[in-house]
Chains A and B, each alone.
Chain A
């Protein structure tokens, strides 16, 4: 490769425009001064805890998005094409979950239900009790419902948006209803919903720190603990913001890869 071609490539690189070089220099100076003048000596003490916290955050994110998506499909279908006795409860569920703050839902599930347990001694003797007494099932439940309600609304539009003619054509070919759903309707609806999925997943990531308020130890609660143990306020929060930025970056990257693999032509 000749040097001229290389120089041309460099000039076309969006990161190497003159003003960007200036901005990057300013950013580098900010990062350097933050590294030099702020306190980071606590990091080695919390390294293991932070890794466990990041793992917990990602675990909750992945599990609740997957479960939420599975719930969102029937919710969307019920609203788009279901009989009224299915459409109405599905619609009510989405409206209630979308109309109230997630923090409140989480506290209602965890502390509200928790306050009812002593009234029903049978619960404590049941086989579910070892799970019910932990915090993470409530976190997973609340976040799953939230994702299902928001994505269910998207799926409703996606199911309704698949052209009727295609479904009729499939029926005319003699496909059974279940086959039509599996082969034609669902794949196209998911394809239509896919562009919103990256955004919804990022929103879900942004909702995960709320679980720290019900004693689940995610990365946010590790940062809070650093603040509480050492009384250093800004440094853990800034590092925490950076960690979330990186996770968001990874999510966007993965969804771009996924979308690139799936042909985007709509019928």
Chain B
């Protein structure tokens, strides 16, 4: 009961101070799911990973107090437009489709898109290779848009709430392939489960219109001031070496792309 009262009290204080502190505190929405190496939870309930550190760096640079707020993946954009959160920093790619509803900062990383499948089966990551197979993707992602556009004719598409569940079903043999960010899939392939079941089938053909130029912070269209601050902060951490310093703990190449 104590925690409950505390939360109520905290909510009341937050509400009272909202008008005073709104300039400094923003809520950053993320989906509470394991997406290593960008996001992983440890047993104490704390989130760690490359993107978590980049968020901290960007917020520190922009002098913003960022509060990580868990929202399910498919609820992030509605939560942003209904002002439950003020920004999305959750490996969300900048796409034209999303730009109709929300705005994005500049990109802070860009990586290729890959397809993985069971060991022992060899096929390519194109319509011919995926013919008659079941491919799993996370809902509401660039990957789900991509497979719907390119593989609808060839393969059966199954949509999951989280990429983690798609990986799980690939390991269980319920799907024949899954498409996602190459780095995230690489992290899965390096786990014990991933090593046992699956390997990389290749990167998919580029489609800039759907896959977009990279990952940025999702923002409301009218929050141009916040967009300016975040863009400046991304540029600053790129220039002052902070970005590279965080990146070298996770990757042996520059995830910013070119």
A and B touch in the complex (CB under 8 A): yes
Interface residues of A (CB under 8 A from B): 111, 114-115, 117-118, 124, 129, 133-135, 213, 215, 224-225, 227-229, 231, 233
Say whether, besides A114-B168, A215-B160, A231-B81, A224 and B74 are in contact (CB < 8 Å). yes
Chain B residues whose C-beta falls within 8 Å of the C-beta of A228 in the assembled complex: 74, 139-140
Say whether, besides A228-B140, A231-B78, A233-B82, A117 and B161 are in contact (CB < 8 Å). no
Contact A111 B165 (CB under 8 A): yes
Contact B197 A231 (CB under 8 A): no
Does B186 touch A at the CB level, under 8 Å?
A: no
Chain A residues whose C-beta falls within 8 Å of the C-beta of B74 in the assembled complex: 224, 227-228
In the complex, which of the residues B78, B98, B100, B173 contacts A227, with contact meaning CB atoms closer than 8 Å? B78
Say whether, besides A228-B140, A231-B101, A118 and B78 are in contact (CB < 8 Å). no
Chain B interface size, under 10 / 10 to 19 / 20 to 34 / 35 or more: 20 to 34
In the complex, which of the residues A115, A215, A231 contacts B172, with contact meaning CB atoms closer than 8 Å? A115
Interface residues of B in 136-190 (CB under 8 A from A): 139-140, 158-161, 165, 168-169, 171-174
Say whether, besides A224-B74, A228-B139, A233-B82, A115 and B158 are in contact (CB < 8 Å). no
Q: Which residue of B lies closest to A233 (CB)?
A: B78
Apart from A215-B169, A227-B74, what 14 extra A-B contacts exist at CB < 8 Å? Answer: A111-B165, A114-B169, A114-B172, A114-B174, A115-B172, A129-B173, A224-B74, A224-B139, A225-B139, A225-B159, A228-B139, A228-B140, A231-B101, A233-B82
Q: Which residue of B lies closest to A212 (CB)?
A: B161
In the complex, which of the residues A111, A129, A227, A233 contacts B168, with contact meaning CB atoms closer than 8 Å? A111
Chain A residues whose C-beta falls within 8 Å of the C-beta of B139 in the assembled complex: 224-225, 228
Chain A residues whose C-beta falls within 8 Å of the C-beta of B197 in the assembled complex: 118
